[in-house]
Amino acid sequence: MLILIKEKRKVFETLISQEKSIRTNTIKKTEQELLTLRHQLTHLRDEFLKRNINGETYTELRAEVESKIYHTELNLRDMVDEQNPLKKFLFEDVPTLEHIVEFYQKSTGVMKRRILGCIFSEKIYFNEEKDATIIFTKPIEIILQISNELGNNKKKKEVEFDLFSQLAPQTGLEPVTL
């Protein structure tokens, strides 16, 4: 497992770089959208002052544009504050995993149970032939999947795409967009 993690560190660093680039571009687009909305609000105010639109229409349109500005600002704030899960994994979790055997050997029984709980999602059951049924936790499944896919000489971009889809939040968790 130690060799697997060290070999895959470069893949994770590449993924982090790509995600950072995508995130930076998305933030720039959202900032541009926010500037456009603010310009629309100014233009709307100018049209009202020139008496090209009536008060009722101005109020409705202003409320709509201000709502869009509010939601765009919230979305932008969330994007700026968001931490990259791959970066955290690479720089915080991977060093721990690289030394997990030594850590496990030096740990108390309670800590050993916690470590195993992070690797296996359920108890290990054996059938009559002494074959084990092992169910891993999601992070361990992803690591093993990456290793298997890279070991099967799959194209690197396909593996990276598969990893991103595994780490993406489930549908329905994204903020509502207007």
List all residues 6 or more positions away from 10 whose beta carbon is below 8 Å from its beta carbon: none
Cβ–Cβ under 8 Å, residues 163 and 154: no
Q: What angle do CA 73, 74, 75 make, to 5 degrees?
A: 90
pTM of the model: 0.48
**pLDDT tens digits along 125-160:** 667 777 777 777 887 777 777 767 766 654 555 545
Q: What average pLDDT does this structure show over 93-100?
A: 69
Per-residue pLDDT at 172 exceeds 60: no
State both tokens at 77: 């704030």
Q: What average pLDDT does this structure show over 24-33?
A: 93
DSSP label at 174?
S
DSSP label at 84?
P
Distance CA 19, CA 84 (A): 8
Residues 25/27/29/33 CA torsion (nearest 10 deg): 180
Q: Which residue has the higher pLDDT, 40 or 171?
A: 40
